[in-house]
């Protein structure tokens, strides 16, 4: 009845005159005008367009034919890759074969509507609160809809544009445009939140939402829509960034604001360079991303993503699946299950997950089952346990746990551990595969209920391969025994322990009280890094040490000792030597040799250090490259440093460079990625793949080394990207400037002016080429550190590297390719 009333009121409100079409390309839609078919509104700057477009299809209810879905939306007008940024009728596509009878117009009550003239029905309405009353109060009010230069569709008073009655920025879809808002209106209670798409082609509301904390705290949650299940939080706003997204604090790419006044509370942002095209996005898989348009590549580049691990998105793979961050595809069905809807799965809509291949037998309604078959529990090792467990702490053994739940037909899976017996009913969601044999906190294994007939079929399929499987098991086992024997032999060749408290091969296990005495109760602080504070100390034999007090290391003592022992076996002239460690209670400390000349940044950025001449800088650059090459290529396992910067390059009394903090990824575990985010972000030392969330390789160290090498050449920090506003090269982001000058054959102007031209031009050119080669956008275009050493030493001639396009795009420099 209500719907009929709305349609009737709209029908009688249609003026008796025929509406005119809006001028194609105009930025305004006035009363009496309408938009249809291929006509568009274009913002005055030409950046955005509004009109009808199609995406996906639907089945006709009358004859079961397939019809395209039509929408009214806003997209980038000049970008060839079609990118909708707002959609009006995402919940109700136009599927009528006579879709051209659908019009976008302003109704007599002041609403912007999509109207099907053939059926006189409203497909979508802006639903302006009290608009009709406002119109009645002033019948002479002229209303128009305008597409602004920032992509905001605004319904306003045509005679007084400052009076805005509705805007699309208050009703975002899955895209967060610069200038738009995420938050709430305190007066009306309206929320400005993002909602992901259903799948890659259907823009209907999906599973995930980004919204302001409903309790009123100044932070944002990414959650399952209409649920309390939050899987990512920004933390609270602390003045210029959110405290759980510290990379915002050092970014000069975006300007961010959090507004909190009597009427509204919201977060907004804008790029520093207004010519840069960037958008925020809550994608189908529940990841929040920041995308940057690269004109040279004609592609969107992901420069930020959270959560970093896709499997940390709640229920990203659907029920009865296992998610693995390190495999492709990301999601796989559990044993005994198959994808429920392959069509949806291909479009990244995995909400249906997987379904059983064989129905459960023990609990089936077929009481005449005479095969003697029953259900079984199949173990799934090294996984994060599903959500929504029911616990029974009174059961004292895993066998008893299994017997109890085998008789319980509602039990889908169970596990047994320190906290007792746990059972899951119904669907299993959010199961994540751990790698490298990692287990959950209680060491529990997930046991999945499977029909006996299903398990029996596995046995039939693998019987013929049994001999091969036995061979594959025995062969690696024998090899492992041989490696252990060799490794034990090597341990005997290690240097003798420095103390009776030895905890590894030549690594001392210090007592806390001894380090407290050596450092005079930790009174002389040498510095503070991402992993904790460093203090100077002196041992009884007069050896000077540096004690690093770790923040956030949470491994058990056994694991910590094992990792320290591994790191202690790594020896190279360009790596800081680990002398020992302390592991008492919650305290975790590392003891290193003391480096008399502190870190590289003190000297090249002219802090409290002394000037390094060019030959010393070049020698340091080669030494650091050799140290990294050793970590990547000569250790038993490749060690990725992940945090190469001048602060982590120390100099001994002879100015020999030594890399510090290698192996910290092993010691810090999951907390390590959080530490990395405290650095300067996409245009600092972090490689682009850190931001985009793809797999990390040793090439992230190569990128960071290239950035450090440029700083050693110039004697200053790599400046933030900014538009060149004068004729001075100093205004251009230095890595881009270096690449451009290298192409021009003018490297002298890049060198630190404090050196007064006292340089080896050939060495400077080699260093510039190596640096530009290291900071290429894609990891496969970068060299190995072994290659870098050969280039710097003049053993290999290097062609002119390309200007990195991502840095060039961010800095706003003109393309050279």
Report DSSP state, residue 298. T
Spatial distance between the Cα atoms of 203 and 72, rounded to a whole number of angstroms: 11
Phi-psi label, residue 509: left if phi above 0, alpha if psi -120 to 50, beta otherwise:
beta
**d(Cα 745, Cα 116) in Å, to the nearest integer?**
65
311, 447, 431, 445: which is closest to 381 by C-alpha?
445
Helix (H) or strand (E) holding 443: none
Are 219 and 248 spatial neighbours (Cβ–Cβ below 8 Å)? no
Sign of CA dihedral 743, 749, 750, 751: positive
Which residues is 659 bridged to in the sheet? 575, 649
Asked about 643 being catalytic, the answer comes back as yes
Query: Which of 472, 473, 386, 388 minimizes the C-alpha distance to 433?
Result: 386
Query: Distance of CA 290 to CAs 169, 175, 282, 703, Å?
Result: 18, 10, 9, 21
Provide the 3-class DSSP secondary structure of residue 692.
helix
For residue 337, what are the CA distances in angstroms to 320, 329, 333, 437, 745? 7, 16, 6, 24, 62
643, 752, 777, 779: the active-site residue = 643
Residue among 356, 340, 349, 281 nearest 317 (CA)? 349
Would you state the structure tokens that stand for residue 308, as one six-digit string? Answer: 């970093």
Give Cα separations from 607 to 524, 598, 658, 706, 713 (angstroms): 19, 11, 20, 22, 16
> Where does residue 121 fall: left (phi above 0), alpha (psi -120 to 50 degrees), or beta otherwise?
beta
Q: Does 548 belong to an annotated binding site? A: yes
Name the helix (H) or strand (E) containing 104: strand 102-106
The backbone region for 243, taken as left when phi is positive above 0, alpha when psi lies in -120 to 50, beta otherwise, is: alpha
Environment class of 381 (CB within 10 Å of its CB; exposed 0-12, middle 13-18, buried 19+): exposed
Quick one: CA torsion of 364, 366, 370, 372, rounded to 10 degrees? 10
- H helix intervals, 58-215: 131-137
- As annotated, the active-site residues are 643
User: Binding site: residue ranges?
Assistant: 548
Specify binding-site residues for ATP: 548
């Amino acid at each position: 009845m209500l719907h009929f009333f709305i349609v009737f009121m709209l029908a009688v409100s249609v003026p008796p005159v025929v509406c005119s079409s809006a001028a194609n390309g105009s930025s305004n839609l006035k009363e009496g005008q309408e938009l249809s078919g291929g006509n568009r509104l274009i913002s005055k700057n030409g950046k955005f367009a509004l009109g009808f477009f199609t995406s996906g299809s639907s089945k006709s209810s009358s004859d079961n034919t397939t019809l395209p879905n039509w929408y009214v939306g806003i997209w980038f007008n000049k970008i060839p890759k079609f990118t909708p940024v707002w959609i009006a009728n995402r919940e109700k596509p136009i599927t009528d074969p006579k879709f051209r009878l659908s019009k976008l117009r302003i109704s007599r009550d002041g609403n912007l509507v999509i109207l099907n003239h053939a059926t006189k029905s409203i497909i979508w309405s802006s639903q302006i609160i009290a608009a009709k009353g406002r119109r009645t109060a002033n019948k002479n009010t002229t209303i128009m809809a305008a597409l602004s230069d920032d992509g905001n569709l605004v319904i306003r008073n045509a005679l007084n544009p400052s009076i805005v009655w509705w805007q699309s920025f208050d009703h975002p879809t899955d895209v967060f445009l610069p200038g738009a808002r995420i938050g709430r209106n305190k007066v009306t209670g309206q929320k400005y939140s993002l909602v992901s798409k259903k799948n890659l082609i259907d823009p209907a509301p999906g599973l995930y939402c980004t919204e302001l904390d409903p309790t009123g705290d100044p932070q944002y949650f990414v959650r399952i829509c209409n649920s309390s299940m939050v899987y990512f939080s920004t933390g609270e706003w602390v003045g210029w960034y959110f405290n759980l997204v510290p990379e915002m604090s050092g970014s000069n790419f975006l300007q961010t604001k959090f507004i909190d006044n009597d009427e509204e509370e919201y977060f907004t942002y804008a790029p520093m360079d207004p010519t840069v095209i960037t958008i925020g996005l809550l994608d189908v898989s529940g990841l929040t991303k920041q995308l940057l348009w690269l004109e040279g590549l004609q592609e969107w580049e992901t420069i930020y993503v959270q959560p970093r691990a896709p499997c940390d998105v709640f229920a990203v793979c659907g029920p009865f699946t296992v998610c693995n961050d390190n495999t492709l595809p990301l999601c796989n069905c559990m044993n005994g299950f198959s994808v429920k809807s392959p069509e949806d799965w291909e479009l990244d809509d995995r909400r249906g997950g997987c379904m059983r291949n064989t129905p459960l037998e023990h609990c089936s309604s077929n009481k005449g089952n005479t095969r003697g078959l029953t259900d079984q529990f199949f173990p799934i090792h090294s996984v994060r346990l599903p959500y929504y467990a029911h616990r029974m702490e009174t059961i004292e053994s895993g066998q008893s746990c299994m017997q109890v739940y085998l008789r319980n037909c509602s039990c889908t899976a169970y596990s047994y551990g320190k906290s007792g017996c746990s059972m899951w009913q119904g669907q299993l969601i959010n199961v994540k595969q751990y790698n490298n044999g990692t287990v959950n906190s209680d060491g529990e294994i997930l046991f999945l209920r499977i029909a006996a007939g299903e398990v029996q079929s596995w046995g039939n399929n693998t019987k013929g391969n049994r001999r091969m499987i036995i061979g594959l098991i025995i062969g690696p086992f024998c090899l492992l025994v041989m490696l252990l024997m060799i490794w034990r032999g090597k341990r005997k060749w290690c240097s003798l322990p420095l103390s009776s408290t030895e905890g590894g091969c030549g690594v001392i296990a210090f007592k806390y009280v001894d380090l407290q005495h050596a450092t005079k109760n930790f009174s002389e602080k040498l510095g503070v890094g991402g992993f904790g504070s460093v203090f100077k100390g002196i041992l009884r034999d007069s050896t000077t040490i540096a004690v690093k007090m770790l923040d956030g290391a949470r491994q058990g003592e056994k694991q910590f000792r094992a990792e320290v022992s591994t790191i202690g076996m790594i020896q190279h002239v360009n790596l800081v030597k680990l002398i020992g460690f302390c592991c008492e209670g919650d305290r975790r400390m590392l003891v290193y040799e003391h480096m008399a000349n502190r870190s590289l940044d003190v000297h090249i950025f002219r802090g409290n250090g002394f000037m390094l001449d060019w030959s010393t800088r070049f020698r340091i650059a080669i030494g650091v490259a050799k140290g990294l090459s050793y970590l990547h290529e000569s250790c038993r396992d490749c060690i990725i440093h992940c945090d190469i910067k001048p602060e982590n390059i120390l100099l001994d009394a002879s100015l020999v460079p030594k890399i510090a903090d290698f192996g910290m990824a092993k010691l810090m575990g999951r907390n390590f990625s959080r530490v990395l985010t405290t650095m300067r972000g996409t245009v600092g030392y972090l490689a682009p793949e850190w931001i985009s969330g793809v797999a990390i390789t040793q090439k992230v160290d190569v990128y960071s080394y290239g950035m450090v090498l440029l700083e050693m050449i110039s004697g200053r920090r790599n400046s933030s990207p900014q538009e060149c506003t004068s004729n001075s090269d100093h205004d251009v982001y230095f890595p881009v400037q270096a690449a451009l000058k290298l192409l021009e054959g003018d490297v002298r102007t890049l060198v630190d002016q404090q050196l007064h031209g006292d340089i080896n031009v050939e060495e400077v050119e080699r260093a510039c080429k190596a640096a530009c080669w290291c900071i290429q956008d894609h990891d496969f275009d970068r060299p190995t550190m072994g290659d870098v050493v050969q280039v710097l030493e003049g053993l290999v001639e290097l062609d002119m590297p390309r200007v990195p396009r991502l840095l060039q795009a961010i800095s706003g420099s003109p393309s050279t390719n």
